Structures are given as C-alpha cells and as structure tokens.
Amino acid sequence: METAYLKTPIGTAEFKGDTSGLISITVIDEKKPADIIPEVLEDAVYQLKEYFEGSRKQFDLKLNPQGTDFQKKVWSALLEVPYGKTVSYLELTKRLGDVKAIRAVAAANGKNPLWIVVPCHRIIGSNGDLTGYAGGLHRKKWLLDHESPIKQQSLF
C-alpha cells in the first residue's frame, strides 16, 4: 500500500491506496511532507487539489474502501448526494429503504474512509444542524461553505 500527503486549507490529507484503488483519504492535523506522490495516488491527489481550488465538483477515481457490506451500501448512497447539496440522516436512511436503521446509517457514515470523495460532510441533522463529523464540525462547516452556490461576501 502506498501513502501520499496533500496540504489543504483545513488540514493535511493523507491518501492510502494501491493498484486496486483508493482505500482511504483522511485528514490529519500534523504536517507531513508532500514531496513524493506514488504514481497510483497521483490522480487522487490531483483531483482533491482541484476540489480545494474550486475547479472540481465530481471525482473520477477507482475506489476500494474497506468495510462491511452495509457500510459500503451507505457509502455508495453518499455518492448520490450532489456537490452543493445536503440531505438529512433521516432522508439518507429513507433512500436506503429502512427508516429504523438511522443509527446504523449514521454510524456507517461516521466510518467513511474516503474523506470528501465520498461526501459524508453533506449529511446533516433533520433540523439543519451540522451534526457528527469525524474530521471536526469546523471542517464540515468549511466544506459545506466551500461547496455552497451562495458565497458570503465581506462588507469591508
């Protein structure tokens, strides 16, 4: 398995993967060298860089996340939530066909190993609150603001 790093506005992205695909992208607070990017991770690093620059709204990567069948089903449903949009945990659960599974869906969402590419940050509480985000709510807010079609402008 290969590893690469990318400095982003909200932390260092750590990529892990191999020829079978991208296994994980996580955010870490520590700074890591981003000099050497293994060939199997070049496209992932490039596409995430474009996302942060504002020129990419969809990813085209070979994904290979490790998890249970249920988790993979939830992560697949997350891929259906478009850039700039949010859905509630309840709505996501309804889309998966079992409203009683809301806690399990929320738990699977929290274990998403592919930061940003599988957009778990787009899932919010039914009342619109930003709830539960493994990377920290400040990052979730930043990502949603970054994707918002309405940009807050400074008065000064």
> What are the catalytic residues?
120
Specify whether the CB–CB gap between 111 and 78 falls below 8 A.
no
Burial of 16 (0-12, 13-18, 19+ CB in 10 A): middle
d(CA 25, CA 18): 13
Which of 77-82's residues contact partners 24+ apart within 8 Å by CB, and which partners? 78/109, 78/112, 78/118, 78/119, 78/120, 78/122, 78/123, 79/118, 79/119, 81/119, 81/122, 81/123
Q: What is the DSSP secondary structure assignment for residue 13, as one 8-state letter?
A: E
Specify whether the CB–CB gap between 112 and 27 falls below 8 A.
no
The two tokens of residue 28 are 């870490």
